Structure formats: structure tokens, C-alpha cells
């Protein structure tokens, strides 16, 4: 099929070499560029054709054009036995078939593009909510990464508790609003270094009610956000605020978010305290099982710890320390990955390697939704997630290069921007032709990432050994 840049992209195949190759092998069409005509026609394979055609030297090609209205959309190329010469009547019949198929394909494209628009509406609502949540944290946490970590921790705990995917998605979006009520708290209290006095603490507590008042509405997502804003400081034993709710009186989302929020506060550095060691923090959560926290959610927290520790590194506010050795518990990954990580991709900086591994995971996920034919909507969703994380990774990498005075910072920034704008182009092309865009982008992503990591990011290894306080 033609992509929006008028290049032919192979989007499906049957019987070429390996049966059911999920992503059609692009090389199979090497050297074949049959002309567009308005009727089905017969042509033959030339001798210079690619190797994959070597065993089909006896074949002729029957080309069925696909049209979208009057414009060319693509073609179906049938490999037929050269002994068979279709007569004019048969070619007419094949032309009719190509009209019918054209209709089916264009309807399919329109439906898929519609489903992406639908997703975009949902995404833009979720984005607006996330941005408001991040804005509310802006005064005491400029990067907004606390919100990201906290929402991802919540989702990981929810997963370990067996919540449905739909619930988890709602929780992830709604949790970003947990502290939206901080908008109503003055700088003098919110940014005070050191402990708050009794009155100040009472004022600080009101961020829960302020959040609850702000999030008034009938929308289910806003309702979930209100629930979380109101109850993320309630304690299982009834000693929390604002209502002193007890046990299961506290909504489940509130119980989950409370652990996620406290854990992130403990292991992060704040103006009034140093970051706790991981062991101290997990021990504290355990001690508070049945006290501050829901015992079931505490069990789930421990179960989800491998994911939680990874999230902590992927969304960290700290300048990446090239010398830090990471020893994260292994995370289960499926065996048949499209791009699989091996040590040759390691650039010698553990944290960056972890970021890159996660980008690989996201590319594999995208590959899976394409090959398993989950539809354009799901492809768009995963692509959106990939571009969001790529941005976070690039900014973290650039911050590190800047901190250590890495000479190629500008070049890297340029490359990163190029990749981001390319993802944006693919996203736009998904709306025009979801079929071609999918296959175009998956190959590009893999090649760009592998090359950038090995060639460009590989040079970052010279930062290893540099002092952290530079
Ligand atoms: Fe809070
Ligand atoms: Fe990188
Ligand atoms: Fe990079």
C-alpha cells in the first residue's frame, strides 16, 4: 500500500517463504515496482529480482490495483504459474474483485482511523487531568516526576491485588490528582523547610478537602479522583484525616494510593529531610500494615516491589550518577521478543541501561499489538506511551550530560528531537493510513533505537569514573 509519502509499504503477505510471518518481510518486494493501472493486469518477474523470489522464477504476477475513489491506494500482487494465461474475461473479473477489495480496505481504514480519534478524545481528557495533577505539585516538585512515580506505583500495587485492567487505568489517571488541593495551600506552609507547627499542619491537612471540593462532577474518572484526593491520608486503623475512616470504609483506591504516596515521600529527598534507604522504607511500610495501611495492600506492595523499584529508577528526579551500580530484581519478560536485550547494548551506565531496556520493552509491546492485530487504536495507545517515555528518558540523559559537561550534548539533543518529531509524524500518519504507518514505524523504531544506543549513547561511557560532585 502507498504510505502518505507515496512509498509502497508491504502490509500483508501470504505464502512468501515463511508461512504467516507476522510482520511481512519488506524485502520480498525488492526490485518489484509494478506500475499502477486502473485495471487488473499481468506482468512477469524480471531476472534481477530479490533472492526470496529465486524459487519462483517460473511465476508471473497478476496485479490488482486498489483505489480509494479515484486515487491509488495500493495493489495486490498475486504470484501465479506462468503456464496460466488469463483471458480478457478473467482479467475483467479480477478487476471487479479489485473494486470490491478496494471498498473493503477503504472502509477498514476509515473505521480504524475513527477508533484512533476516539482514543485521542479519551487521551486528551486524561492528559488534562494529569497536567492539572502535575501543576498542583509544581511548587514543591518542579519536574512533576513524583506524580508519575506515585501513579505508576499505585498501578503496580493494584495489579498485584488483582484489579482489572480497566480499574488500573482509571486509578493511574485519577491518582495524579491526589494532591490537587495543594493549590489552596500557601507557599509559607507548603514550602516551609522543617517541621510544621500544629496550626500549620491543620491547614496542610485541608488539601484533602480542597481537592474534594475541586473535583466535583458526575464523570466517573473525576469521581475516582475525588475519592483519592479525599482519602489518601486516611489510615486503616482510623487515625488518619480528614474523616478518620477505618478499614474498608476507606475506598480501595485511597488505600492503594496512600502506600504509593508515602513510599515515594520516604525514599525521596525533600527540603526538610534526606531520602531514606530502601530497606528502612520497606520495613516502615511493613510495620504499618494494619496501622496506617491496609494489610492486603501491604502484601501487594511487597509482591510488586520488583516493578516498583524499576519505576523508581525510570522516573527519578536525580541527576543520573554514571557510577551507581543497580541491582534490581529480575522482571519477567516473554521469550520471543522482537528486539531482545543483550550485553552488547550496555553502555556501562546501569541506570541508562535500565532506561534503554524499558524502551526495548515498549518497542516489543508495540510489535506485539501490531502482529497480534489488536487494531490501530491499541497501536496508537502504545505509541503514545512510548513517545511519552522516550521524552522522559531523553531529558534525563541530557540532564546527566549537561551536569558532567559532556561534549556532544547538543548533538544528542538534536538526535533526540529528531526522534521525537519522527514519532509525531508516525502518530499523524496513523490517522491517514493505519495500515502502512504501523509497518513503517516499527522498523524505523527498532533501527533508530539500536543505532542510537550503540553508537551515540555508547560514547556516554566516558562519563563513568567521573566524580558525582563535579
Ligand atoms: Fe496529600
Ligand atoms: Fe538513550
Ligand atoms: Fe541519547
- Residue 209 Cα to ligand 3 middle (Å): 43
Q: What's the confidence (pLDDT) of residue 309? A: 95
pLDDT at res. 323: 87
How large is the average pLDDT for residues 173-192?
Answer: 90
Higher pLDDT, 112 or 254: 254
For the cut 90, the answer to whether the pLDDT of residue 7 exceeds it is no
Quote the percentage of the chain above a pLDDT of 90: 49
| CA max distance for the chain | 94
Measure 420 CA to ligand 3 centroid, in angstroms: 12
Backbone angles phi, psi at 90, to 5 degrees: -65, -40
396 CA to middle of ligand 2, Å?
9
CB distance 294 to 254 below 8 Å: no
* Model confidence band, residue 340 (pLDDT cutoffs 50, 70, 90): confident
Which region among 315-319, 322-326, 354-358 has the lowest average model confidence (pLDDT)?
Answer: 322-326
144 pLDDT more than 80 = no
449/283 Cα distance (integer angstroms):
39
Q: Distance from the CA of 10 to the center of ligand 2, in angstroms?
A: 30
Mean pLDDT of 307-320: 93
In the 8-state DSSP scheme, what is residue 8? Answer: B
Partners of 410 in beta bridges:
none
- Interatomic CA distance for residues 440 and 428, integer angstroms: 13
- 68 CA to centre of ligand 1 in angstroms: 54
pLDDT the model gives residue 333: 66
Report the DSSP beta bridge partners of residue 48. none
Give per-residue pLDDT as tens, 373-417: 888 888 998 999 999 999 999 999 999 999 999 999 999 999 999
pLDDT class for 334, splitting at 50, 70, 90?
low
Phi-psi region of 248 (alpha: psi -120 to 50; beta: other; left: phi over 0): alpha
Helix (H) or strand (E) holding 376: helix 376-403
CATH of the domain spanning 319-470:
1.20.120.50
What's the CA-to-centroid distance between 179 and ligand 1, angstroms?
5
Q: What stretch(es) of the chain map to CATH 1.20.120.50?
A: 319-470
Contact 19, 39 (CB under 8 A): no
State the pLDDT at residue 264. 95
Provide the CATH topology of domain 143-317: Hypothetical protein af1432 (1.10.3210)
pLDDT at 140 over 80: no
Q: What is the Å distance from ligand 2's center to 358 Cα?
A: 11
Confidence label for 190 from pLDDT (cuts 50, 70 and 90): confident
Percent of all residues in the chain with a pLDDT value above 70, rounded to a whole number? 90
Q: What is the pLDDT of residue 22?
A: 44
Q: What pLDDT band is residue 466 in, cutting at 50, 70 and 90? A: confident
Do the Cβ atoms of 187 and 139 come closer than 8 Å?
A: yes
Query: What is 1-137's CATH number?
Result: 3.30.450
Picking from 209, 211, 214, 197, the residue whose alpha carbon sits closest to that of residue 243 is: 209
pLDDT digits (tens, 9 = 90+) for 216-248: 888 888 999 999 999 999 999 999 999 999 999
* Residue bearing cell 470504609: 249
Predicted confidence band at 210 (pLDDT cuts at 50, 70, 90)? very high
Q: Could you check whether the bond before residue 242 is cis, i.e. omega within 30 degrees of 0?
A: yes
Residue 353 has pLDDT above 50, yes or no: yes
Separation of CA 165 and ligand 2 centre (Å)? 30
Question: How much is the pLDDT for 38?
Answer: 84
Cα(388) to centroid of ligand 2, in Å? 14
Close Cβ partners of 397 (under 8 Å, ≥ 6 residues apart): 320, 352, 355, 412, 416, 457, 460
pLDDT score, position 392: 94
- pLDDT for position 257: 97
| Contact in structure between 345 and 449 (CB atoms under 8 Å) | no
pLDDT of residue 16: 65
Mean pLDDT of the chain: 86
Measure 460 CA to ligand 2 centroid, in angstroms: 9
What's the angle, vertex CA 373, arms to CA 371 and CA 374, rounded to 5?
Answer: 120
The Cα 82–Cα 76 span in angstroms is: 18
Rounded to the nearest angstrom, the gap between the alpha carbon of residue 22 and the centroid of all alpha carbons in its chain is: 22
Q: What confidence tier does 21 reach under pLDDT thresholds 50, 70, 90?
A: very low
Q: Is the model more confident about 164 or about 338?
A: 164
Torsion of CA 12, 18, 21, 27, to 10 degrees: -60
Q: Each residue of 257-283: pLDDT tens digit?
A: 999 999 999 999 877 788 899 999 999
Ranges for all domains in the chain classified under CATH 1.10.3210.10: 143-317
Residue 461 has pLDDT above 60, yes or no: yes
Q: What is the pLDDT of residues 29-63, one digit of tens each?
A: 555 566 778 888 887 765 445 455 545 555 678 88
Distance CA 282, CA 265 (A): 12
Q: Which three cell numbers stand for residue 76?
A: 495486490
Amino acid at each position: 500500500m502507498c504510505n502518505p509519502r507515496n512509498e509502497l509499504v508491504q502490509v500483508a503477505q501470504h505464502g512468501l517463504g515463511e508461512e504467516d510471518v507476522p510482520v511481512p518481510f519488506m524485502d520480498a518486494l525488492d526490485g518489484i515496482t509494478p506500475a499502477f493501472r486502473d485495471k487488473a493486469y499481468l506482468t512477469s518477474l524480471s531476472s534481477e529480482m530479490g533472492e526470496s523470489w529465486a524459487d519462483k522464477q517460473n511465476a508471473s504476477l497478476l496485479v490488482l490495483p486498489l483505489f480509494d475513489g479515484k486515487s491509488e491506494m495500493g495493489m495486490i500482487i498475486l504470484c501465479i504459474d506462468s503456464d496460466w494465461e488469463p483471458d480478457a474475461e478473467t482479467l475483467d473479473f479480477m478487476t471487479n474483485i479489485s473494486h470490491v477489495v478496494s471498498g473493503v480496505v477503504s472502509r477498514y481504514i476509515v473505521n480504524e482511523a475513527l477508533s484512533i480519534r476516539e482514543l485521542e478524545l479519551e487521551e486528551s481528557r486524561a492528559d488534562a487531568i494529569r497536567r492539572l495533577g502535575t501543576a498542583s505539585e509544581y511548587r514543591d516538585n518542579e519536574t512533576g516526576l513524583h506524580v508519575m512515580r506515585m501513579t505508576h506505583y499505585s498501578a503496580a500495587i493494584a495489579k498485584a491485588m488483582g484489579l482489572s485492567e480497566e480499574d488500573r487505568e482509571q486509578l493511574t489517571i485519577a491518582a495524579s490528582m491526589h494532591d490537587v488541593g495543594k493549590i489552596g495551600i500557601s507557599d509559607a506552609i507548603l514550602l516551609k523547610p522543617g517541621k510544621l507547627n500544629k496550626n500549620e499542619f491543620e491547614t496542610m491537612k485541608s488539601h484533602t478537602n480542597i481537592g474534594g471540593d475541586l473535583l466535583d462532577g458526575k464523570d466517573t474518572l473525576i469521581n475516582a479522583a475525588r475519592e483519592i484526593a479525599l482519602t489518601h491520608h486516611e489510615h486503616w486503623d482510623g487515625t488518619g484525616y480528614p474523616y478518620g475512616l477505618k478499614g474498608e470504609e476507606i475506598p480501595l483506591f485511597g488505600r492503594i494510593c496512600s502506600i504509593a504516596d508515602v513510599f515515594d515521600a520516604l525514599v525521596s529527598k525533600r527540603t526538610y529531610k534526606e531520602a531514606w534507604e530502601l530497606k528502612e522504607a520497606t520495613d516502615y511500610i511493613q510495620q504499618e500494615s494494619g496501622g496506617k495501611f491496609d494489610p492486603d495492600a501491604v502484601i501487594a506492595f511487597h509482591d510488586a516491589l520488583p516493578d516498583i523499584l524499576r519505576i523508581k529508577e525510570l522516573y527519578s528526579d536525580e541527576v543520573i550518577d554514571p557510577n551507581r551500580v543497580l541491582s534490581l530484581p529480575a522482571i519477567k519478560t516473554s521469550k520471543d521478543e522482537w528486539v531482545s536485550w543483550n550485553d552488547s547494548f550496555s553502555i556501562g551506565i546501569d541506570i541508562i541501561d535500565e532506561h534503554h531496556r524499558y524502551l526495548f520493552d515498549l518497542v516489543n509491546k508495540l510489535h506485539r499489538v501490531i502482529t497480534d492485530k489488536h487494531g490501530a487504536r491499541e497501536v496508537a495507545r502504545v505509541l503514545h506511551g512510548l513517545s511519552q517515555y522516550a521524552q522522559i528518558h531523553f531529558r534525563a540523559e541530557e540532564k546527566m550530560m549537561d551536569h558532567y559537561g559532556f561534549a556532544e550534548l547538543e548533538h544528542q539533543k538534536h538526535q533526540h528531537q529528531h526522534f521525537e518529531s519522527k514519532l509525531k509524524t508516525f502518530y499523524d500518519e496513523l490517522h491517514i493510513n493505519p495500515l502502512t504507518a504501523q509497518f513503517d514505524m516499527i522498523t524505523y523504531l527498532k533501527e533508530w533505537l539500536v543505532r542510537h544506543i550503540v553508537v551515540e549513547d555508547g560514547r556516554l561511557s566516558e562519563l563513568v569514573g567521573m566524580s558525582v560532585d563535579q
